[in-house]
Amino acid sequence: MRKMIKRLLKKYKYPPEEAANALETVIRQCEQWTDNDDSEPLYQKAPKKYEFPESSSYTIAAEPNIKYNNLSEKNNE
């Protein structure tokens, strides 16, 4: 990742004396975007729990129930 950032800085003619600072800034921003917090180990992180209100009504996407002919009844006839 660092190589890619350095190439981009060079491609767009970023001043070399400020490249190190820019590299660290971009790395820090990428870590924030990915929600990777290296200060807390993965095994200590609690899983995210999503709660849905029970009082709200949800629409049903399925069609209404339809009674189909039973195949076993046809075979017995």
Q: What is the pLDDT along the chain (77 residues), one digit of tens a residue?
A: 889 888 888 898 888 888 888 889 888 888 877 765 566 665 666 677 777 777 666 666 666 677 777 665 555 55
In a domain, 59, yes or no: no
Q: How many domains does the chain have?
A: 1
In a domain, 43, yes or no: no
Distance CA 31, CA 55 (A): 38
Burial 37-68 (b: 16+ CB within 10 A, else e): eeeeeeeeeeeeeeeeeeeeeeeeeeeeeeee
The pTM is what? 0.40
In a domain, 52, yes or no: no
Distance CA 36, CA 30 (A): 9
In a domain, 3, yes or no: yes
In a domain, 39, yes or no: no
